[in-house]
Amino acid sequence: MASIRELHEQLVKKERSAVEIAQEALNRIQALEPKLHSFLHVTAEKALEQARAVDAKIAAGEEIGLLAGIPIGVKDNMCTKGIPTTCASRILENFVPPYESTVSQKLIDAGAVIVGKTNLDEFAMGSSTESSAYQVTANPWDVSRVPGGSSGGSAAAVAADECVVSLGSDTGGSIRQPASFCGVVGLKPTYGLVSRYGLVAYASSLDQIGPFGRSVEDTAILLNAIAGYDPKDSTSLKVEIPNYAASLKPDLKARGKLRIGIIKETFGEGLDSAVEQAVTTAIEQLQNLGAEIHVISCPNFRYGLASYYIIAPSEASANLARYDGVKYGWRAPEADNLLSMYTRTRAAGFGAEVKRRIMIGTYALSAGYYDAYYLKAQKVRTLIKQDFETAFETVDVLVTPTAPTTAFKAGEKTTDPLSMYLNDLMTIPVNLAGLPGISVPCGFDEQGLPIGLQLIGKVLGEHQLLQVAYAYEQSTNWHQRQPQLG
C-alpha cells in the first residue's frame, strides 16, 4: 500500500476513491488474518461508511486533510464508541464503550478510516502479544515468531500492509519493541503530549499512546493528528504542537551541529551479535551524515527493569481493582455471595500474566513493604531521569538498540516470565523518565528478521528525534523491504 502522502495525492486527483482504498485494506485483512491474527475486531461497515463520507467531501469540492481516507488500525485498549474494546481480556469481552477516546475522536475528525481494533497482550501486559485471551498474533516476517508486544497487533498490521498506519500504547516499550521486531517505525511520545483519555489504564504514570508507520514521515503525520492538549486528561501538556512532518529533511547538516550519544550500558553481555553489528553500522551511518558521536554513561540505566517491575505492577493493581464483575465487563455466574462473585470473576476473567502483575503490585504496596520496594523503586526512577538529564547536557539525541534480540519463536518464553521481561531492557528507562523514543529499522539478521535502532530525545524533543530518524531512514533502504506474505 502507498504512503499517506501518495494516497492523499491520488484522492485529491480523483485517481482513486476512499472506498477503493478502504476496500483494498479490508480485502488484505480478510486474506491475511487466518495466519496473522493482527485484528480482534474488523469494522468493515463503519470503515466503508467513513470512506464514503470522504468521497462525498471530495465530490463536493471540499479540501481534505492528509489522513482523510487513510486506513488505520487502533489498539484494542483505546475506547471506541459502539465498537468492542476488550483489552484482549475475557473480563471485558462484552464491553462496548459509550464514548470515544480522544485519539480515536481526533482520527474520526481528520477523516481517517478505522478498519479495526488490533490485538495486544492482555491489558497491555507483555512483550510478545501471546498473553491475549483470544489469539496469538504472528510476525509477518516469519509467522512462527512473535511480533513483539504489547502492541504486536498494531505493528504486524502495518508491516503486513493491512493498514497504512496504526496506534499503539507504550508503557515500557510496547510500541518500540514490536516496531523493531516487525521492521516498522514506532514512536513513543513525551509523556503528556498525547491524551490518555479513553485509554484503558495499565500504569498511569507510564502509559503513552503513539503511532506506527512504514516510514518516519507517515509516523510524523499521524503524531501531528493525535498530539495536543486535552482538558479531559489531567496529565496532558499545554504546549504548542509543531508540524512534525512538514520540515523533515534528509540532510542532518541542514539543522546545524548534531551530537549523538551512545549509551555504553546498552552494549555488551546479553546483546545479540547481529543486533550489535547492525546498530553499530547505523551509528557509523549517522556519523557519515554529519553527526558527532559521543560515548556516554547512564549508570542507573541497568536498574530500569527492576524498578519498572515494581512501579508498573503497583499501578496496575490499583487500576485493575475496578474489574470486579459489578459495574461492567464479564461476571462469573452462580456465585454464592458477593465475595465469591468478586474472586471468581477476577480469577476466571484475568489471564496468568495479569494476575501475576496484580499480585506483585499488591505485595509491593502492602504494609511493611511499601518503603522497601515501591518507594525505593521511585527513588531509582528519579536517578534514571537524572542520568538522562546529565547526558542531554552534552548530547542532543541518545542511541541504543531497541531490543536485545530479534523476534523469538512463539511459545519460546511463555514459561519464563523473567526472560520475557528482559526484552524491554532498552526501552523501559525512557518511560520511567517520560522521554520520547523512536525505533527505526536498521538491518536484518541472518534469518531475515528485522532489527531496530532506538533514538531517544529530550522532553518534547519529537521534532528533532523525527528529523534524525528521517535522515537516517532516507540514507538507507531498510524501510523499503517488505515481508513476503502473498
Q: What are phi and psi of 413, to 5 degrees?
A: -125, 10
Q: What are phi and psi of 409, to 5 degrees?
A: -65, 145
25: buried, middle or exposed (CB in 10 Å: 19+, 13-18, 0-12)? Answer: buried
Catalytic residue, candidates 128, 174, 307, 317:
174
Q: Which of 360, 384, 372, 407 is nearest to 144 (CA)?
A: 407
Cα separation values, 180 from 81, 183, 207, 216, 426, Å: 31, 5, 19, 13, 12
The grid cell for 414 is: 511463555
**Sheet hosting strand 113-118, strand order edge to edge:** 39-42, 113-118, 71-75, 165-170, 208-213, 185-188, 437-444, 450-456, 397-401, 259-263, 292-296
Q: Are 40 and 135 in contact (CB under 8 A)?
A: yes
Q: Are 146 and 140 in contact (CB under 8 A)?
A: no
Cα separation values, 410 from 127, 351, 414, 465, Å: 11, 18, 8, 32
Judging by DSSP bridges, how do beta strands 71-75 and 165-170 pair with one another?
parallel
The dihedral through the CA atoms of 443, 445, 450, 454 has a sign that is negative
Active site residue 236: no
Catalytic residue, candidates 127, 150, 180, 307:
150
The dihedral through the CA atoms of 159, 163, 166, 172 has a sign that is negative
Catalytic residue, candidates 17, 75, 151, 317:
75
Judging by DSSP bridges, how do beta strands 39-42 and 113-118 pair with one another?
antiparallel
The grid cell for 88 is: 484482549
Active site residue 234: no
Judging by DSSP bridges, how do beta strands 165-170 and 185-188 pair with one another?
unpaired
175: buried, middle or exposed (CB in 10 Å: 19+, 13-18, 0-12)? Answer: buried
How far apart, in whole angstroms, are the C-alpha atoms of residue 186 and residue 177? 8
Q: Are 429 and 301 in contact (CB under 8 A)?
A: yes
Which DSSP letter does residue 90 get? G
Active site residue 439: no
Catalytic residues, by residue number, are 75, 150, 174
